[in-house]
Structure 1
């Protein structure tokens, strides 16, 4: 048990520590990214692999992939890869979820289809599927509002490093509160449609960079009385429609405006890298939460946010 906990302490801290170690060699082989009309920054293969790693490891851990994809490349001197790149490589994470949960998804869809055919509207699989669909509506609604009223969202102050740091700190405190107050009584077989809608509302908070979709849904699940592994498992399933839609919308915009010379291969490499590391993160987190609490992530997020604010104050990072 102690060994497992130490392994995960190493895994979570490795996101920052390992990348810090490679700052200088990566800066030597990489050029400063230049903007492409589509909103995807120009980058080389090595940068794409590293950012795919960051996306994959942080997407499903409750520490915010958006925050790390903003902070890590800026800290390495690469610049912000942009909302489009961030959203598109999330498709790699979706591929990993589909890969890992294919058996569960097939059972849910098959059971829901059979229930509809037999007009068995109390069927568990049908209610679970409807819960996932209902839970997707809030993030779609608020996402459309953002696109309508904040057209320049990519350069919005809400995506500044300072805002991300504050969001990380606030969410660490909320997750800590959920750990303290959550009863953790209900397992996966006792989920309801109401759980889907409520967790969907918490998922919409992830539209704020630094909040973390996994972190907000895990926090909400714990407040709702779900077991840690159940909350994480349902969070992964709930994220499939939302992350897929976000990725496809950005992919459509990128295709329509053009990628720019040499942007396609790094983008594909980033997606593949994200898929591989996402699968590792999913399997590891579910195994970890069977026996461990989320306190390692709480302390990490708190330290992460404080470190960013400290770096901004010291002039090491620009609050942009």
Structure 2
């Protein structure tokens, strides 16, 4: 890889991982729209590590409280809001984990076409726009009920379809069940932690099974750039949605999806 490819892929991964615009769509399309060779599994693992580091650092206080409270709950000291939130994150991860393991090969081989990506960008983008436009609730991530969590978790499994956007579909479902924009976004970001661990772990296993030469300098730069861009993305996204809501991202998705369909299929 040349350095331009390293920078572009790292920044695209870092930004699109947490915006409701589909990171998989952007990462699939980068090599399609350029003459770059595939970056390889090792670099993919590095980019996921950068994104994971960013969300853990950003929510470090919440994660610490969730961890301490969960251990206290397991030792019989009662369940508080932080322990409950930690359980909700795990519960909402089960559907995507199970379906991802069962259908990973089908999705990776048959559903990564520009047609599916374009349709998903538009369709799920409009659904996000509707959820944001309709009357929203005011509940935070600490006020979820188990039924809400299951709905969000099942919705997250739809993100296995390229172009859907994991953050986009989870925020859509969260808004639908009555969460505030900020609460929906924060819960979606917390949900990304186990999902990124699962995705990165699966790639790491493949890497161990099929060893390849590794450019450690490119890996380090990619990890750092992905982490920095992801951290800034999380921070400014939470600022933007307070003022503008989800509509700018809906417009981007519709235009991007329409361009893909026009460019590749008409």
TM-score when scaled to structure 1? 0.77
The 3-state SS of whatever aligns with 1:171 is helix
Quote the offset at 1:85 in angstroms.
4.9
Count, aligned residues: 266
In structure 2, the partner of 1:136 is 93
In structure 2, the partner of 1:273 is 225
What CA RMSD, in Å, does the superposition of the two structures yield over aligned residues?
Answer: 2.0
Comparing both structures, which one devotes a greater share of its residues to helix? Answer: 2
Q: How far apart in 2 are the matches of 1:281 and 1:195?
A: 26
Larger radius of gyration: 1
Quote the offset at 1:84 in angstroms.
7.2
Quote the offset at 1:255 in angstroms.
2.7
Q: How far apart in 2 are the matches of 1:239 and 1:197?
A: 16
Kindly provide the CA deviation profile for residues 81-110 of structure 1, in whole angstroms up to 9, marking residues without a partner as x: 567754652221111000100011001111
Larger RCO: 1 or 2 (CA < 8 Å, sep 6+): 2
**1:183 matched to 2:136:** yes
In structure 1, the partner of 2:3 is 45
The 3-state SS of whatever aligns with 2:244 is coil
The 3-state SS of whatever aligns with 2:202 is helix
Alignment equivalent of 1:63, drawn from 15, 21, 27: 21
Quote the offset at 1:175 in angstroms.
0.6
In structure 1, the partner of 2:256 is 304
Quote the offset at 1:252 in angstroms.
2.2
CA spacing shift, 1:96–1:158, aligned 2, 3 Å? same
**1:59, 1:93 within 8 Å by CA — same for their partners in 2?**
yes
The 5-angstrom pairing of residues 25-44 of structure 1 reads: 43-44=1-2
Quote the offset at 1:80 in angstroms.
5.3
Quote the offset at 1:242 in angstroms.
1.1
CA spacing shift, 1:271–1:255, aligned 2, 3 Å? farther
The 5-angstrom pairing of residues 61-100 of structure 1 reads: 61-78=19-36, 81=39, 85-86=43-44, 88-100=46-58
The 3-state SS of whatever aligns with 2:138 is coil
In structure 1, the partner of 2:74 is 116
In structure 1, the partner of 2:116 is 163
**1:66, 1:212 within 8 Å by CA — same for their partners in 2?**
yes
Q: How far apart in 1 are the matches of 2:45 and 2:125?
A: 24
**1:92, 1:275 within 8 Å by CA — same for their partners in 2?**
yes
CA spacing shift, 1:86–1:206, aligned 2, 3 Å? farther
Question: Can you give the 5+ residue segments of structure 1 that lack an aligned partner in the other structure?
Answer: 1-42, 315-320
The 3-state SS of whatever aligns with 1:71 is helix
**1:253 matched to 2:210:** no
CA spacing shift, 1:300–1:236, aligned 2, 3 Å? same
TM-score when scaled to structure 2? 0.92
Kindly provide the CA deviation profile for residues 55-76 of structure 1, in whole angstroms up to 9, marking residues without a partner as x: 1111111001110111123212
Kindly provide the CA deviation profile for residues 276-314 of structure 1, in whole angstroms up to 9, marking residues without a partner as x: 100010001112222321000000000000011111135
Q: How far apart in 1 are the matches of 2:115 and 2:60?
A: 39
Q: How far apart in 2 are the matches of 1:86 and 1:205?
A: 22
